[in-house]
Structure 1
Amino acid sequence: MLKDLLLRLIRLLVGGLFIFSGLIKVNDPVGTAIKLEEYFDVFSYDIAGFFEIFKPWALEIGVVMVVAEVVLGVMLIVGFKLRFTVWALGLMILFFTFLTFYSAYFNKVTDCGCFGDAIKLTPWESFYKDIVLLVMILILFLSRKSLKDNRANWALWTALFSLVFSISVAILAIRNLPFIDFRAYKEGVNIPQAMQPSAPLEYSYVMQKDGKEEIFDQYPSDEAYEFVELKLNNEEALPKISDFAVWNEDGDYTEEILSGKKVVILVTNLSKVKDENIDKIDLMISGLKDADIKIVFVAASSQPDIDTFLERKNWEVVGFQADATVVKTIMRSNPGVMLLNEGTVIRKYHFRNTPNSEDVKEVLGG
């Protein structure tokens, strides 16, 4: 009786965590794909070059992975095909544990993306979390003969519903934008404010004397102390955005882009931009020629490539460069459109949902 209760509790904890983790990532499959590309880059360089072949399939692999998290979590909780489910979860957690250990030990990928952008964990925190899950799944695995399948029809239909639901959400998120934006550039965020600390940063001085370390609020006057490190006491006050910048051959234009009313066309990869994906953007640009709204083009590419693209499209807009990671963080669409008003993110659009010029004027008041 006690053993059955313990196993049921473990099933609820493990299944619930997998569902929670999977749903967060189903909401943003493109973000998961970006994280997988980071891992494939690292593995192809450190372990074996063949990992490079997985990069073009990162999105598809990511969708399969996050959908499996949700479905297996549901199957574990409802008790459907438990032995298969425990085997599958065991293999999955072994893979995740390897990833998080590799990230933590070698300091390669500083954010594992276990919970997408919703909950940030350090590599070691992610590893310890996976160890706890591994232990619980191991208990289920060793007790798998005691697990009794739920053969009721509702269990089957619940599992099937979770499969259809999670795949549908993933496809909709890919073809549009994440339903819930957990990133620093979500709608409503004022970028200039987010680039500043939310409170004065407080530091402590770690000093050493006679082999013993001591912490001081101010640098000690006693010259016998040897400086060890400067410790930040309130990390939560650090700027939420620390790497936003745009520039071209004439210099830095970050401050300018964050003032006034702006339509920002963002491109993560110029070579993958298809003409049919920017038809609506063409119309939007044409309709805003006489509006008091400035259109800028920002791409993670070289300035000559940006200038060539703008000239080919005959877009009379200013082109800027930006860091690829920043552009990918802001926009999960290639290309995508962001509306700014005095640095505040008003709206973000997938290229499929590009607004017309009148909608832009209404939103920005131009």
Structure 2
Amino acid sequence: MHKLIIKTSRILFGLVFVFSGFVKGIDVLGFNYKMVDYLESFHLDFLQFTTLPSSFLLPFIEFAIGAALITGVCLNIASILGFAFMSFFTLLTAYIWKYNPVQDCGCFGDALVISNAETFLKNIFLFTLAVIILKYRKTTFDNCKTTRKSSFVAMCIFMVSVMTYSYTHLPIVDFRPFKEGVNIPEAMKTPEGAEQDIYENVYYYKNINSRELEQFNDTNYPWQDTINYVFDHMDEPKLIKKGFTPPINDFRVENREKQDVSNFFLTNPEYGFLWVSYNMNKADKDAFKASEALAEWAKSNNISFIGLTSTSLSTIDQLKEQYNLSFDILNADETMLKTVVRANPGIVLMKNGTIIKKWNANHIPENFSIELLNKLEKELN
């Protein structure tokens, strides 16, 4: 029984670390965005230059620790690193649970979103496993067999390959609401009868007779008793139960006059391309030439090609002139654009509000044709 507990702890801990590292590693840019959010919430913006390298390194280390524990390779190092990881992140998530600086810890990327309280409890459990693994690391089986080492190396090579491809192209698995095949208007709907958010309100009324300030809630506040009470103020409503939230609730595109023109993209019955760059200053400028070539092809075939960015209008105009970009570029929310496509810039093919295909602008097909678009749409269905 003693050995069974140790082995179960090791395998379970390893599986969680492999899964956690993998789902972050297939979405390096998404993990990078989350790390930027962390640094901003802790007022450590000056460290943002470290986020991209860390977005590769941390998921790989996490995956490698898990792989080592599963295969039984380098158990001494893996158990020490696993304990160190959990010591740090248990303390960090305890702070996040208490002060709520970010809404989502990003522990499992977009694959599994859990609350800050659930994250802390999860880490308490994993920390317990880490202690068991560390304490009994020398009582497990010999870790020098070639087959185990080969398995460990193969897993690590696989992880590096997946991370590299996902960063240079797009994530091999898309867990976000704007994945291929999603119809945006449908994903924006709230079903009839869906649960609504429930808030708790606290009201303060002054007792006219005693001149004291008294506290009330929604069930007993004396709004009709104008003889004995007069309203003073109320606290900010507190969310006590989250209701249904549509998968997509932030799709909004504005023209240069700040008018909402989202409906065009949601109802256009023909093929249309979206060129997405959440920040044109940070975009890969080498991809601009290929983007313009696709825009010219689209124009010659009467297909809309419109850019979306959160960049200021003056910067848009400057960069359009500098890189000879002929297509219109409209404004949208930065966070939404980061969610639409994990590339800067990226290309999205749509029809009737449905996302048919997405590309990193550095890896778009060289020979576009109407037949190719039709083929992509058929493959989706």
**Interval of TM-score (by shorter of Structure 1 and Structure 2):** 0.7 to 0.9
How many Å separate the matches in 1 of 2:321 and 2:347? 19
Segments of 5+ residues of structure 1 without an aligned counterpart are: none
Provide Cα deviations, 1:122-168, integer angstroms capped at 9, x if missing partner: 11111110111001111222223433432211111111112211111
C-alpha deviation, 1:84, in angstroms: 1.3
C-alpha deviation, 1:350, in angstroms: 0.5
CA contact (8 A) 1:97 1:130 kept: yes
1:31 and 2:38 matched: no
1:121 and 2:114 matched: yes
Provide Cα deviations, 1:236-255, integer angstroms capped at 9, x if missing partner: x4211111211133212111
1:86 and 2:79 matched: yes
5 Å-filtered alignment, 1:215-364, equals 235=243, 237-250=244-257, 251-260=259-268, 261-356=271-366, 358-359=368-369, 362-363=372-373
How many Å separate the matches in 1 of 2:73 and 2:323? 55
5 Å-filtered alignment, 1:174-193, equals 174-193=167-186
How many Å separate the matches in 2 of 1:63 and 1:300? 26
Q: Does 241-250 or 175-184 show the bigger shift? A: 241-250
CA contact (8 A) 2:288 2:323 kept: no
Q: Does 347-356 or 195-204 show the bigger shift? A: 195-204
C-alpha deviation, 1:21, in angstroms: 1.2
Q: Would you tell me which structure has more helix in proportion to its own residues?
A: 1
**AA in 1 matched with 2:365:** P
Q: Does 274-283 or 198-207 show the bigger shift? A: 198-207
Task: Assess, with a 3 A threshold, how the Cα gap between structure 1 residues 93 and 360 changes in structure 2: closer, same or farther.
Answer: farther
Task: Assess, with a 3 A threshold, how the Cα gap between structure 1 residues 232 and 106 changes in structure 2: closer, same or farther.
Answer: closer
CA contact (8 A) 2:19 2:63 kept: yes
Q: Does 284-293 or 14-23 show the bigger shift? A: 284-293
How many Å separate the matches in 1 of 2:175 and 2:73? 32
How many Å separate the matches in 1 of 2:170 and 2:370? 18
CA contact (8 A) 1:245 1:253 kept: yes
Task: Assess, with a 3 A threshold, how the Cα gap between structure 1 residues 11 and 20 changes in structure 2: closer, same or farther.
Answer: same
Q: Which residue matches 2:100?
A: 107
Query: SS in structure 2 opposite 1:270?
Result: coil
Query: SS in structure 1 opposite 2:142?
Result: coil
**AA in 1 matched with 2:90:** T
Query: SS in structure 1 opposite 2:180?
Result: coil
Provide Cα deviations, 1:61-89, integer angstroms capped at 9, x if missing partner: 12111111211111112222212111000
Q: Does 340-349 or 33-42 show the bigger shift? A: 33-42
How many Å separate the matches in 1 of 2:367 and 2:71? 50
Identity of aligned residues (%): 28
**AA in 2 matched with 1:178:** P
Query: SS in structure 2 opposite 1:252?
Result: coil
How many Å separate the matches in 1 of 2:199 and 2:111? 32
**AA in 2 matched with 1:35:** K
CA contact (8 A) 1:288 1:357 kept: no
1:65 and 2:72 matched: no
Task: Assess, with a 3 A threshold, how the Cα gap between structure 1 residues 21 and 275 changes in structure 2: closer, same or farther.
Answer: closer
C-alpha deviation, 1:257, in angstroms: 2.6
Task: Assess, with a 3 A threshold, how the Cα gap between structure 1 residues 151 and 337 changes in structure 2: closer, same or farther.
Answer: same
Task: Assess, with a 3 A threshold, how the Cα gap between structure 1 residues 29 and 104 changes in structure 2: closer, same or farther.
Answer: same
Q: Which residue matches 2:39?
A: 40
How many Å separate the matches in 1 of 2:176 and 2:126? 26
Q: CA RMSD in A?
A: 3.1
Query: SS in structure 2 opposite 1:179?
Result: coil
CA contact (8 A) 1:307 1:319 kept: no
- TM-score in terms of structure 2 length: 0.83
Task: Assess, with a 3 A threshold, how the Cα gap between structure 1 residues 130 and 233 changes in structure 2: closer, same or farther.
Answer: closer
How many Å separate the matches in 1 of 2:184 and 2:240? 23
**AA in 1 matched with 2:22:** L
C-alpha deviation, 1:93, in angstroms: 1.3
Q: Does 347-356 or 187-196 show the bigger shift? A: 347-356
How many Å separate the matches in 1 of 2:279 and 2:62? 29
C-alpha deviation, 1:302, in angstroms: 0.8
How many Å separate the matches in 1 of 2:359 and 2:167? 12
Aligned residues: 354
Q: Does 128-137 or 280-289 show the bigger shift? A: 280-289
Query: SS in structure 2 opposite 1:316?
Result: coil
- TM-score in terms of structure 1 length: 0.86
How many Å separate the matches in 1 of 2:289 and 2:325? 12
Which 4+ residue blocks in structure 1 deviate beyond 4 angstroms? 203-208, 211-215, 227-234
How many Å separate the matches in 2 of 1:314 and 1:320? 16
Task: Assess, with a 3 A threshold, how the Cα gap between structure 1 residues 342 and 87 changes in structure 2: closer, same or farther.
Answer: same
**AA in 1 matched with 2:102:** V
Provide Cα deviations, 1:21-42, integer angstroms capped at 9, x if missing partner: 1111121111111111111222
C-alpha deviation, 1:290, in angstroms: 2.9
Provide Cα deviations, 1:256-282, integer angstroms capped at 9, x if missing partner: 232213211011221233442222212
1:132 and 2:131 matched: no
How many Å separate the matches in 1 of 2:181 and 2:192? 20
Segments of 5+ residues of structure 2 without an aligned counterpart are: 203-214, 226-233
